[in-house]
């Protein structure tokens, strides 16, 4: 197992106790942990590219949010695109849509545009 995290309700002392218990258990089982990947209790943590915030819930890291906004702006004026470019857009936005729930219907619509198209250079009309 590469990454894992434990959660515990407040106060932070409960979280610290839970972390100590897990670290003790792993030591007893001779499971090595990377010290640079072990964090003390916090309310904001980046895990697998997603910022988990126990107060504001999960959110995209600022750089990924900014990149997604720039892509949407640049694509908003396009009337056609090739399949390869559309697949690149889809790949970049799918990560964001795991967090932004209103993005799910949008992604289904975009994925429908690519159905039946096999040639990566084929142009697709965007309406």
Model pLDDT for residues 7-19, shown as the tens digit of each residue: 777 677 788 888 8
> Does residue 77 belong to any structural domain of this protein?
yes
**8 domain-assigned:** no
Give me the CATH number covering residue 94. Answer: 3.30.70
Residue 2 inside a domain? The answer is no
| pTM over the 0.85 mark | no
Question: Would you say residue 68 lies in a domain?
Answer: yes
Query: Domain range for residue 80?
Result: 62-125
Indicate the number of domains in the chain: 1
Would residue 26 count as lying in a domain?
no
Go through the chain and tell me how many residues it has: 127
pLDDT in tens, the chain (127 residues): 566 777 777 677 788 888 888 889 989 999 888 887 787 877 787 777 777 777 776 677 778 888 888 988 998 888 998 888 888 888 878 777 777 667 767 777 777 777 778 888 888 888 7
**CA-based nearest residue to 114, from 93, 92, 84:** 84
The verdict on residue 84 lying in a domain is yes
SS (H, E, C) the chain: CCCCCCCCCCCHHHHHHHHHHHHHHHHHCCCCCCHHHCCCCCCEEEECCEEEECCCCCECCHHHHHHHHHHHHHHCCCCEEEHHHHHHHHHHHHHHHCCCCCHHHHHHHHHHHCCCCCCCCCEEECC
12 domain residue, yes or no:
no
């Amino acid at each position: 197992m590469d990454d894992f995290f434990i959660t515990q309700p407040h106060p932070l002392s409960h979280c610290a106790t839970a972390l100590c218990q897990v670290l003790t258990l792993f030591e007893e089982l001779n499971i090595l942990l990377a010290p640079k990947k072990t964090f003390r209790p916090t309310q904001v943590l980046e895990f697998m590219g997603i910022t988990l915030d126990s107060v504001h819930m999960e959110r995209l890291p600022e750089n990924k949010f900014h990149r997604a906004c720039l892509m949407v702006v640049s694509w908003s004026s396009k009337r056609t695109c090739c399949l390869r470019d559309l697949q690149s857009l889809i790949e970049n936005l799918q990560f964001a849509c795991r967090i932004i729930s209103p993005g799910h219907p949008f992604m289904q619509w975009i994925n429908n545009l690519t159905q039946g198209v096999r040639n990566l250079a084929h142009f697709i009309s965007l309406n």
